[in-house]
Amino acid sequence: MKRLTIVVACLLLGACAQPQWRSAIAHSYRLQGSALRQPDPGVAPSVISVLPVDAAPGLDSQAMLYSPEPGQLLPYRDSGWLAPAPALVRTALADTLARQRWVAAVEQDAALAPAPWLLHCTLTRLEHDYARPPGIVRLGLRCELVRARDGSIAAHWHSALRQPLTVGDAAHYAAAAQQLLDRALAQALRRIAAALRAG
């Protein structure tokens, strides 16, 4: 009986010593490309290379960030993006461009053909500003379209967008972020089409 007690005690102590793994994110959300089609700018279809999207500090993870007060960013505890936000934005840009008839191909990692146009963007802001509940979602995206032949910038723009929330939770935050990204993608299409038209 004494041995049995010692064995049970050792097993219990061993179980307590096991590492405590953090539970996986309970809810994950994605950002997707837009089905919007920009009118044909009247040029031959072009190949566009979408470069990796850079991110401001703190935005290069799967964390869905909220700001309870100016200058402070905190992650949602049980909710996050399906992948790091810059990767989701890059995929959304590529998917949206691929739907345009005036885009011959979109390159991301493997070069299929020499791309005459390079699109580089930086995610400058993506947060739920919770200063006044239920808050506002803010998205900032700065982009440059570069001519590959000489490295000159054909177009550059900064989308600084905001969307009020009716409910301050992760699901509404994600939905508002998607609406803002749709607006940023529409602006990107207009700018890119105009630059291609201008040559």
Residue 168 Cα distances to 140, 172, 193, angstroms: 20, 7, 36
**pTM reported for the whole predicted model:** 0.85
pLDDT of residue 9 exceeding 90, the answer is no
Classify residue 139 as exposed, middle or buried by CB count within 10 Å of its CB (0-12, 13-18, 19+).
buried
Classify residue 109 as exposed, middle or buried by CB count within 10 Å of its CB (0-12, 13-18, 19+).
exposed
Q: What is the pLDDT of residue 110?
A: 74
Residue 26 confidence class, pLDDT cut points 50, 70, 90: confident
Structural domains in the chain, sorted by start: 45-198 (3.40.50.10610)
DSSP character string of 70-115: TT--EEEEEEEESS-HHHHHHHHHHHHHHT-TTEEEEESSS-SS--
Q: What is the pLDDT of residue 71?
A: 86
Two structure tokens written together for 64: 């869905």
